[in-house]
Structure 1
Amino acid sequence: MTPRQSRSAHLANLDLNLLVTLRALLRERNVTRAARHLGVTQPAASAALSRLRRHFGDELLVRVQGSYVLTPLAAQLAGQTETVCAAAERLFATGRAFDSATTQREFTLLMADYPATVLGPALSRLFDREAPHAALHLQLIRETLGSVAGDAIRLVDGMVSPPLGHSRTPGVESAPLFQDQWVCVVSADHPLCEAQSFGIEDLARLPWVVPYHRDDGYPSAAPATRQLTALGIRPRIAVRVESYRAVPDFIAGTRRVALIPERLAAPLPSAHGLRTLDCPIPLDPLEEHLWWDASHDQDPAHSWLRDLVARAAACLGP
């Protein structure tokens, strides 16, 4: 028997209904609530949990101080289960007539916290208005996925991110959504705020807060660090964070500086004691694109989703 035949035989012997039960149990972390969500009895859900425990050789859910928590293995399975269930739902929905007003399908989008913050409000309103019975799974990711981006896109409905690199990823399509400009963010009492002007040399000597910067040298794939590298600046990084939204918390009251997108910076000064400054020389704009697997091109549900994301981006204006 070949390895492929072995895998197929193993899959045929599995009760794939357990996959849906596993997702509900990991989401709810409670057998009674999972049963209610699935529309089955509590004993049936308990029996399914017992089968899952035997299959994985792990308790999955353990009681701690009156409530259930996930075991380390269950926590690892949670993300994989969501991805596999979403992919299966898309597979069996392909080719059907699609009506956004009645569909109960779940759509999964990958994006970093910056496009989620900027695009999220308009996307949420449109989704609620046009697909009130559908579900949206917004999965937050690192800003830079690198070479694994193509694999990630194939398991979801789409990803919002900057360009994936100079080489085109086979089987992946894209469409531009919106652009943004970079601005410098400093504390409101920073000496630069009182300076008549500042230049590259000022930025080069200051400590930086940088999102999504790897610690394995230059050049970095992180968009902000890539812009600094283009300016000939190798910043003295004081703080690395895995979120654009966390940047302001490490700027206020310090002498640090950061580059963040202008759409994200606009509401910050009054709320965080910050000041935004134009960069001393123009930087390349930050571009956000929607990426999807080309196999979805003829799926009417996916076409609707792509159009919805594009209309949400159009709501942002220039």
Structure 2
Amino acid sequence: MKTLGYAAHSADSDLVPYHFERRELRPNDVAIEILYSGVCHSDLHTVNGDWGDQPYPLVPGHEIVGKVLSVGSDVKNYKVGDQVAVGCMVDSCQKCDQCHNHEEQFCRHGMTPTYGAPDRQSGEITQGGYSKHIVVREEFVLSIPESMDLSRTAPILCAGITTYSPLRHWGVKEGSRVGVVGLGGLGHMAVKLAVAMGAEVTVISRSKSKEEEAKALGAKGILASSDADEMQANGAAFDLIIDTVPVKHDVNVYTPLLDVNGSLVIVGQVGPLEELMSVPLVFNRRSVAGSLIGGIKETQEVIDFCAKHDIYPECEMIKMDGINGAFERLAQGDLAHRFVIDMSSLSVD
């Protein structure tokens, strides 16, 4: 299938139009016309080579919403015209214990990311959602309820599942005390989801400049990490802290905020941390952990949860040719919303 996307051709180049072909349908494949594609901070890191050399030309994008164009002969769960989505991965071994446990992101043989990785059968490099079409095996396609606003759904496939998964894994429920470090693309979704689960949520930020914004999302307020007295007064105040900051930072300032058995979960930064102090951990059985997206079953769960509770990311719509400007703004700081690309402006002809 001939298609058109926007690709980076090197670590220091803009994204430009790129004509390429999607594979012919395998028996278990679903061909999708992409209607909307979310823009993730990790897209910027990847195309810039921040996480290592990349197989350019590279079409990023792993927050994909569209409709089914055609299906392979063995596909059972989807038909032409269905509203569907694709997230951060498009394949896994499907045989190991982690895949059988519905945690394909931890596949023992490595999951296949939506872009920038070899296809498990052909070896060709996967290309992502900044394009008009995509072809994905059925097991990695997700259903979008008819009631959902497709234009605001795409970021749930990354920002949503990335924050929902640790909230579920660490058992957040009515009355849980949850802190969210940062109020960017990930942080604002963490607040909305935790509030919907019944938690008491506080945003932790360097200042209180976004306090009204935090309260509008359902948080009780902001704890200013730059205020030493306020931080000390909130010692042992949280059962769980979700750390969404996407760059290197000192997590030691947050661990004393955890109650006994509390956990700080890193979902934003990928890379080295500042040296970790063990004293606050040892003396209160606190933990510092990490979490990576979620499995396909859990991703479907968060989509359905958002549909039930009318939860959407804060979105700014852009056209495909506005992606480089969006990347520039993203590089300047972690915005408190997500960019979503309207693919209607992209024509293959």
Q: TM-score, normalised by structure 1?
A: 0.29
Between structure 1 and structure 2, the one with the greater Rg is 1
Structure (1 or 2) with the greater strand fraction: 2
Structure (1 or 2) with the greater helix fraction: 1
Q: TM-score, normalised by structure 2?
A: 0.27
